[in-house]
Amino acid sequence: MLTLNASQLDEFFALIEKKRELYLPVENKTGKSEYKRWVEGDKYSTALRTVKSAKNFFFAKSENLYDLKMDHKNVEVIDTREDIKEFVIFGVRGCDVKSFDILDNVYLQDPVDTYYKNRRDHGLVISMACSKPATTCFCALFDIDATSPNGDIQAWNVEDKFYFNPLTEKGDAFVEEFKECFTDEDSKPVEKQKEETLNIIERLPFVNLNMEGFGVEDKLKAIFDRPEWEDLSSTCIGCGTCTYVCPTCQCFDIKDFNVGDGSIKRFRCWDSCMYSDFTQMAAANPRLTQTARFRQRFMHKLVYYPIKNEGIYGCVGCGRCLVSCPVQMNIVKVIKAMGDN
Amino acid sequence: MSVKEKTEFQPKIVAFCCNWCSYAGADLAGTNRTNYPANVKIIRVPCSCRVNPIFILRAFQRGADGVIICGCHPGDCHYITGNYYTRRRMTLLFSMLDFLGIEKDRTRVEWVSASEGGRFAEVMTEFTNDVKAIGPNRKLEDLRCKAK
Amino acid sequence: MQKIGVFVCHCGTNISATVDVAKVAETLAKEPGVIYSTDYQFMCSLAGQNLIIDKIKELDLTGVVICSCSPRMHELTFRKAADKAGLNGFLLEMANIREQDAWVHKDREEATLKAVALGRAAIAKVALNEALIPGESKVTKRALVIGAGIAGMQAALDIADAGFSVDLVDIEPTIGGLMTQVDKTFPTLDCASCILTPKMVDVQQHELINLMTFCEVEKVEGYIGNFIATIKKKARYVDPDACTGCGLCTQKCPTKNVLNSFNLNLDNRSAIYIPFPQAVPLVAIIDAAHCKKLQEGKCGVCAAVCAPKAIHYDDCDKLVENKYGAIVVATGFNPIEVHAFNEFAYDQSPNVITSLEYERLMSATGPNGGTVLRPSDKKHPKTIVFQQCVGSRDTTSRGKTYCSGICCMYTAKHAMLTREKYPDTDVYVFYTDIRTPGKGFDEFHRRAVEQYGVHYIKGSIGKVVPMSNGNLKVQASDLLMQRQLHIEADLVVLAAAMEPDKSAKHLAQQLTASMDNDGWFTESHPKLRPVESPTAGVFLAGACQGPKDIPSTVAQAGAAASKAIILLIKDKLKGNPCVAHSAENMCNGCGACANVCPYSAITYVEKEFRMPDRTTLIRRVASVNPAVCQGCGACTVACPSGAMDIFGFSNKQIMGEVDAICQ
Amino acid sequence: MNKSELLKEQVQRNSGVNVLKCMRCGKCSATCPNYDVMEYHPHQFVNMVENNQVELLMKSESLYMCLTCFACVERCPRGVEPGKLVEAIRLEAVRIKENNHLKPDQIVKKLTDKMPQQAIVTAFRKYTK
Amino acid sequence: MQSEIIKRTVELFNSEEIVRAIGWRKGDFDYDLNPSIFKSSEDLEKNFVYNDFSSANLSKFLIKISQKEDGKTLVFLKSCDTYSFNSLLQEHRISRDKIYIIGVPCEENLDPSKIKAALGEDVLSMSCDGETVTVETLDGTKTISKSEVILDRCLACKSRKHVVYDELFGEEGEVLDSKRFDQVEILENMKPEERYSFWRTELSRCIGCNACRDICPACTCEKCVFDNRDSGVENKVATNDFEENMFHIIRAFHVAGRCTDCGECSRVCPEDIPLHLLNRKFIKDINEFYGNYQAGDDIETLAPLTRFDAVDVEPSIVKTRENVK
């Protein structure tokens, strides 16, 4: 397997950055890690998760769509899309890699979202296998193998060595391009780490939750009508933190910024189904109470999405909402309450 | 205006003036033909207490380099107490902007009565010079409003 | 779709000399929403106004922007023109390119650019303007005057003479106020009663004045033009309509040892009494606290002797409610209590008295029929010492920081009258400063010194020690002679500071009229609106607003009355439509807006809301009374949710201006 | 700032008295029980400090005639507190070395049996450095 | 303590004094307590937890209940929460007569993320006994000293006094002499450029999730200006530096003089932005300029921005004062 010594990592990064934009998790001042554009001196963070997910690279927090220029009575539409440079995201965990598939299902189906596709086409994902999962992780529940993540290239970090395995054509080409960086070594340490990690994953508290009843059409109505929604959502503050840290939440709003000189910048930005002013563009939000909005979020991830997408759940078990929710409500508590666990 | 003046940095300055004292003071400056920089543009408000911190930030967002709020002298407010509230609000707001590292000289409150036309012009000249000295607003700008 | 017309004025050459008006008109024509733009020589001329009117009609304009002089100059002119053309005047905005542009800048290019920016701001604003119609409210053609001293009487007479009904309320059983206790008035030395009692009779006989003596204002609600006052008629136990004021009951009443407050407790009266012979109404009243019948159930002498059967022991307090269009406050003043100034031994010796007590001693209706005799032994005092500034200009907790204004004059009056009546008396006056602004006032004071030989000494009494014979050892300083004086006096008279009447505070709360730290009513503007309270429809007469002498009081009462008449003469009040309003669905009911409102225009109501999910909930929300709101906007910033906004100066309008100016 | 002004400032700072608050009513001197034996009277102390004449006061016997009864402090309608001013000036005077108004051995001679101990302590405080 | 509280609350349920209780509900680990409404004594007995992780301030949840529900609600309030309660009361957001308050004693709360940062993410349970925190992990039992893992806000606790309650468990506490303005002072003593870059670093992490606002017991607007399309400043996510600054400046300004310094904003921020420093700066300024004021101390004193003094300092003090660089 292709390997690289940890000591050569920065050299590798510098080389990538010469030809592409490189993003990777770096520890910030609070001790947590977050994706950032690599600059000389940045150290790759091996932390389990970044606070924000990696979805921002393809589904940006906010993104300009086009400009409208008004000249007296005439309106001119200006496409403001700039050419996107090829970029590489390094160190994406298995759960986040899986989230790209979930987003693809939404944005790459007809009609294709060209803004999303544009970014997707220009991005290359180097994933990183997990070796120290947290008790709040439950990707295994959704059949994600964190020890062997997807991506254009999958990677492992065993002690002071990094192992790479290209999975796609894009990955192959990349490896070829940077072949002088790698040496070829035995992959036994990887196998060993995989085994050890799987051993831990089995003992994680949420990987064996009972998912029966979710994701099937004939149980939809029953789950929808469960009385537990009321209690579970009773202290939901509707802040949307869960949706903003979630790698699979995919809703956006389209808004106008009036520059004031007769031109308008139309942009889209993340939205949250937890907000009372969600989906107001057509009329009013059809979900009138926080309970309804709360239910919507989990119904979408656990029932509607899998029904539409061959049983794939809209959750990847990254555990971010378990950490971030201000009132400690989360999808695990919902699954437990609804799924007879 | 000389060529030099035209090429130097010309700040945009928004002045919120209360209808009863400061706006009248500005009118008096006009009646007396007292010059002050054309950088200053006045927005009339009923009372200085009408000025919401949001307006001030909005001005910076939209490209202002300085914002000054003028009202009646404390104790002389047409609405009895309005400027007392202005004083507290703006003291705290300015202190907060300073805390965030925004230049202190970009914001100011001055009490100008209807009879102080000369002072109005002096204050505006001084404030404009202060803002010129610290240069364009970078810390509270919104680049979307600069692309022209 | 906006259809805005822009009119740029040359103002002769006033504007056009510095601003390229044609270019301004041309540039502004390109602004979104603008469908017509022109420049014209004189916009405010008849021809100019007609141009506006014609274009509004012809182009069906939805908004008009005039770039010309200050709106303080011609906003009304142009709004009227717009109204004439059928466009609501509030859909017109002005850009001030004269006073705030052409006149203050020299560079033509610079001034032209600024004119464009100001024009853009006005266009941005007018695009967000709403048609506003000033609210109207009916005016109740009746005035309430609170306090029937000289100020209240004068105000009531003036208002009634103008043809409006007046309710004149006083807390005392008689009208007349403090002036009834005064002997003579400075600087003319005419007798107070001689000028006051005819006025009291005028008041009583005026068919439009309804006297409400021995009454208290309990509660006031409502707003300008529409106040509702609840007035308590205190139990008098004598039917004022039946009583003839013959006074037989007061003679027959067995309880004769009640301290006579009219004479400041210097003598006694009976339990049923007539305050003084000239009282109006001249009606007896029972002092319930001292009446044997009311206290112990035994007696009944007064009822027995009363031929017209006017006595009713079962009388009780009654509340009446009335509507008024205007309220005049004339609650007046009182001298402060001087007990705290123990260096003057007021509590130790009956021969240390206040100036008002001295008035009573000198008065023909006083305890000694006008002969000055000292209280302890009714001896004629030979040496009298007056001390000024007792509690005035005093920053300690004992006194008042202000100058009471009238003490210099009345002390001079007392000294002069004493020397005139009793030339063998030595009179000393200790003063800090002599303040005598007023017509003939200083001459009056000089007469006391020069003609009457009153000893004016710059200094102060430091200590008064009562002696066993009733005399007083007075230790004092004489600053000009640099010596300490030791005078043996028969009488010491203290010129006590003035303070607002005790009833004023409750009243101020009811009226939501503001008071200063000393409890004087605050005027709406110290120079330009001196008799108006900040609460619209409430006017201030006399010493309730600050220490005052009689001439100023009467003058101010007249002014307050005329302001009240100006209000009452209107059938309807047109409000300023640029007032605050609260969006109920956004309002939290937190109270921040009401806390900062200087006019108490904001109240709260419990409102039931139908929620989108068809449930209902009850929430407290703010409600602005547009007739009371003056539109300052303090509430709009206090409101965190932005529920509070102002018509004519809305958040959006101001932000629109900001955006346009910063372009 | 010259010496007189410095002294004025120091005396005002030490006493906490603002002489400008005086409105010249003379109440302090009127109430003073030891007025007749003093060269300068309470109101003059205030006035003279205002006029930079602290040195004159420091030389005056009046400094030691003040009984510190604080009647003037109590009665002053403006809160000027002349008594505290006198004390502060006295402090200035006794702070000067070798300028003792009284020497310790002189105090011994003045002692009588009836004199309370407090008076002796006070005497030291007042009269010596 | 927990069992005593449960016992008493069950009594109140049984005597029909209360119809519901708002408290902390047991989670999957010991630290993930969910503020929750208990509608029966059985539910409460089974699921109520009061421990070192009962950090959530429950007072804000009373607004909705006050507006909508009938019957009396019991609420458990820690000392700092009682200040928020008073503030809400003062602003008429809750009705006192519909609420029964049990004051619960508070030692410092613990910060689960500090524990995880120190001992790893594979935590199964946490408990604290005296000065030692014991943590069960997949890797076995580990311990850490309590002082290392106390919630930041509790390290600068301003008061152990319950300013309002119907019933109090434990001793009456006292207002503490906290060092809560130290960090503000450190920032004040930086150069403006340093302060600017400090705040840029912090605020640039903001994801616009609204957790700070929605948890804040002072931010109780029926419709926030930032959610209101008509306000002109609405934003769902901050699209640039300016919008980030704008949101946090205006939010801090809107709670200025009303913020009780409960610290919930910083506690819930997923990005660990020290938002409380903005609020504390206002509190510190208010104390300096207008006299000491603690929001929620009582319900009579008007908030500093809704009153004034004729001799207040002028805004120019910001330029002239010496204690801030």
Restricting to E residues 82-141, those with a Cβ less than 8 Å away from any Cβ of B are: none
**For chain B, what percent of residues have pLDDT higher than 70?**
95
What pLDDT is stored for residue A281 in this prediction? Answer: 66
Nearest C-alpha of chain A: how many angstroms from B25? 29
Q: Do C655 and E232 touch (CB under 8 A)?
A: yes
Q: Is the pLDDT of residue D114 over 90?
A: no
Residue type, E75: V
Residues E125 and E165 grouped into a single domain: no
Residues E286 and E194 grouped into a single domain: yes
| Tokens linked to E223 | 């419709």
What range does the domain containing C391 cover?
336-499
Residues E213 and E174 grouped into a single domain: no
| Tokens linked to E212 | 């700070």
Question: In a 3-state reduction of DSSP, which class is residue E319?
Answer: helix
**Count of domains forming chain E:** 3
Residue type, E10: V
CATH of the domain at C376: 3.50.50.60
Whether residue E151 is contained in a domain is answered as no
Residues E128 and E95 grouped into a single domain: no
What gap in Å lies between CA D45 and CA C153, rounded to an integer?
A: 51
Bridge partners of B40, per DSSP, are B13
pLDDT band at C616 (very low <50, low <70, confident <90, very high): confident
Residue type, C435: R
pLDDT band at D129 (very low <50, low <70, confident <90, very high): very low
Q: Chain D partners of C459 at a C-beta cutoff of 8 Å?
A: 25-26, 29-30
Whether residue C611 is contained in a domain is answered as yes
Q: Which of C125, C613, C662 to mutate to test the interface with A (most CBs of A within 10 A)?
A: C613
Residues E229 and E300 grouped into a single domain: yes
Spell out the domain ranges in chain A: 2-202, 217-338
Nearest C-alpha of chain B: how many angstroms from A260? 8
Q: Where are the alpha helices (DSSP H) in A203-340?
A: 220-224, 228-232, 241-245, 290-299, 305-308, 320-324, 331-338
Q: Is the pLDDT of residue D1 over 90?
A: no
Residue-wise pLDDT tens digits, B33-69? 999 999 999 999 999 999 999 999 999 999 999 999 9
Q: Do D25 and C461 touch (CB under 8 A)?
A: no
Q: Do C663 and B29 touch (CB under 8 A)?
A: no
Q: Which of A74, A261, A279, A294 to mutate to test the interface with C (most CBs of C within 10 A)?
A: A261
**DSSP codes, chain D:** --HHHHHHHHHHHHHT--GGG-----HHHHH-TTGGG-SS-HHHHHHHHHTT-HHHHHHSTHHHH-----HHHHH-TT---HHHHHHHHHHHHHHSTT--SS-HHHHHHH--TTS-HHHHHHHHHHH--
Q: Which of B58, B62, B145, B146 to mutate to test the interface with A (most CBs of A within 10 A)?
A: B145
**DSSP codes, B24-43:** HHHHHHHHTT----TTEEEE
Q: Is the pLDDT of residue E212 over 90?
A: yes
Q: What is the CATH number of domain D3-127?
A: 1.10.1060
Q: Is the pLDDT of residue D121 over 70?
A: no
Q: Do D30 and C475 touch (CB under 8 A)?
A: yes
Residue-wise pLDDT tens digits, D6-60? 999 999 999 999 999 999 999 999 999 999 999 999 999 999 999 999 999 998 9
Question: Is the minimum CB–CB distance between E234 and chain B shorter than 8 Å?
Answer: no
- Over residues E61-66, the mean pLDDT reads 92
Whether residue B147 is contained in a domain is answered as no
Q: Is the pLDDT of residue B15 over 50?
A: yes
Q: What are phi and psi of A286, to 5 degrees?
A: -70, -20
Chains A and B, touching by 3 or more CB pairs within 8 angstroms: yes
Q: Chain E partners of C651 at a C-beta cutoff of 8 Å?
A: 231-232
Residues E233 and E316 grouped into a single domain: yes
- In chain E, the residue whose alpha carbon lies closest to the alpha carbon of A322 is E32
What gap in Å lies between CA C8 and CA C107, rounded to an integer?
A: 19
User: What is the overall mean pLDDT for chain B?
Assistant: 93
Residues C355 and C493 grouped into a single domain: yes
Please check whether residue C626 is in contact with residue C135, taking contact to mean a CB–CB distance below 8 angstroms.
yes
Residues E167 and E265 grouped into a single domain: no
Residues C428 and C516 grouped into a single domain: no
What gap in Å lies between CA E45 and CA E10, rounded to an integer?
A: 8
What pLDDT is stored for residue C521 in this prediction? Answer: 93
- Over residues E146-166, the mean pLDDT reads 95
**Lowest mean pLDDT, pick from B79-93, C524-538, E276-290:** C524-538
pLDDT band at C612 (very low <50, low <70, confident <90, very high): confident
Residues E204 and E233 grouped into a single domain: yes
What pLDDT is stored for residue D100 in this prediction? Answer: 64
Nearest C-alpha of chain E: how many angstroms from B1? 32
The count of CB pairs under 8 A between chains A and C is 19
- The dihedral formed by the CA atoms of C375, C381, C386 and C387, expressed in degrees to the nearest 10: -50
Q: Is the pLDDT of residue C334 over 50?
A: yes
**For chain C, what percent of residues have pLDDT higher than 70?**
100
What gap in Å lies between CA C235 and CA C287, rounded to an integer?
A: 10
User: What is the overall mean pLDDT for chain C?
Assistant: 94
For residue B77, give Cα distances in angstroms to B19, B53, B56, C525, D11: 11, 20, 21, 9, 41
Q: Chain E partners of C641 at a C-beta cutoff of 8 Å?
A: 221-225, 228
Residues C563 and C621 grouped into a single domain: no
Q: Do A30 and E272 touch (CB under 8 A)?
A: yes
Whether residue C19 is contained in a domain is answered as yes
Q: Is the pLDDT of residue E325 over 80?
A: no
pTM: 0.79
Whether residue B6 is contained in a domain is answered as no
Q: Chain C partners of B44 at a C-beta cutoff of 8 Å?
A: 71, 96
Kindly tell me the number of DSSP H helices and DSSP E strands found in chain A.
12, 12
Sign of CA dihedral C31, C32, C38, C39: negative
Q: Chain E partners of B88 at a C-beta cutoff of 8 Å?
A: 289-290, 304-305, 308, 312
Residues E191 and E234 grouped into a single domain: yes
Question: Is the minimum CB–CB distance between E42 and chain A shorter than 8 Å?
Answer: no
- In chain E, the residue whose alpha carbon lies closest to the alpha carbon of B81 is E308
- In chain A, the residue whose alpha carbon lies closest to the alpha carbon of B148 is A261
Residue-wise pLDDT tens digits, C96-123? 999 999 999 999 999 999 999 999 999 9
Q: Chain A partners of E213 at a C-beta cutoff of 8 Å?
A: 239
**For chain C, what percent of residues have pLDDT higher than 90?**
90
Q: Do B41 and C118 touch (CB under 8 A)?
A: yes
Whether residue B126 is contained in a domain is answered as yes
**Lowest mean pLDDT, pick from A120-129, D112-121, E162-171:** D112-121
What pLDDT is stored for residue D128 in this prediction? Answer: 45
Q: Find the chain B residues whose C-beta atoms sit closer than 8 A to any C-beta of A.
A: 62, 144-145, 147-148
Measure CB to CB from residue B98 to each of E306, E309, E324 and give the nearest one.
Answer: E324
Q: Which of B58, B100, B137, B146 to mutate to test the interface with E (most CBs of E within 10 A)?
A: B100
Residues C493 and C424 grouped into a single domain: yes
Question: Is the minimum CB–CB distance between E185 and chain B shorter than 8 Å?
Answer: no
Whether residue B68 is contained in a domain is answered as yes
Q: Is the pLDDT of residue C607 over 70?
A: yes
Residues C181 and C214 grouped into a single domain: yes
Q: Do C343 and D31 touch (CB under 8 A)?
A: yes
What pLDDT is stored for residue D126 in this prediction? Answer: 56
What pLDDT is stored for residue B146 in this prediction? Answer: 79
What gap in Å lies between CA C581 and CA C626, rounded to an integer?
A: 8
Please check whether residue E174 is in contact with residue E182, taking contact to mean a CB–CB distance below 8 angstroms.
no
Residues E211 and E303 grouped into a single domain: yes
**Count of domains forming chain C:** 5
**For chain B, what percent of residues have pLDDT higher than 90?**
81
What pLDDT is stored for residue B5 in this prediction? Answer: 60
Q: Chain E partners of C585 at a C-beta cutoff of 8 Å?
A: 222-223
User: What is the overall mean pLDDT for chain E?
Assistant: 94
Whether residue C506 is contained in a domain is answered as yes
Residue-wise pLDDT tens digits, A191-212? 999 999 999 999 999 999 999 8
Measure CB to CB from residue D27 to each of C433, C462, C478 and give the nearest one.
Answer: C462
CATH of the domain at C618: 3.30.70.3270
Residue-wise pLDDT tens digits, C50-62? 999 999 999 999 9
What range does the domain containing E126 cover?
113-146
What gap in Å lies between CA A52 and CA B20, rounded to an integer?
A: 52
Whether residue B3 is contained in a domain is answered as no
Q: Give average pLDDT by consecutive 10-residue segment, chain A, 341 residues.
A: 94 95 95 94 94 95 92 85 92 97 95 95 97 96 96 96 96 95 94 96 94 91 94 94 96 91 90 89 80 96 95 96 96 90 55
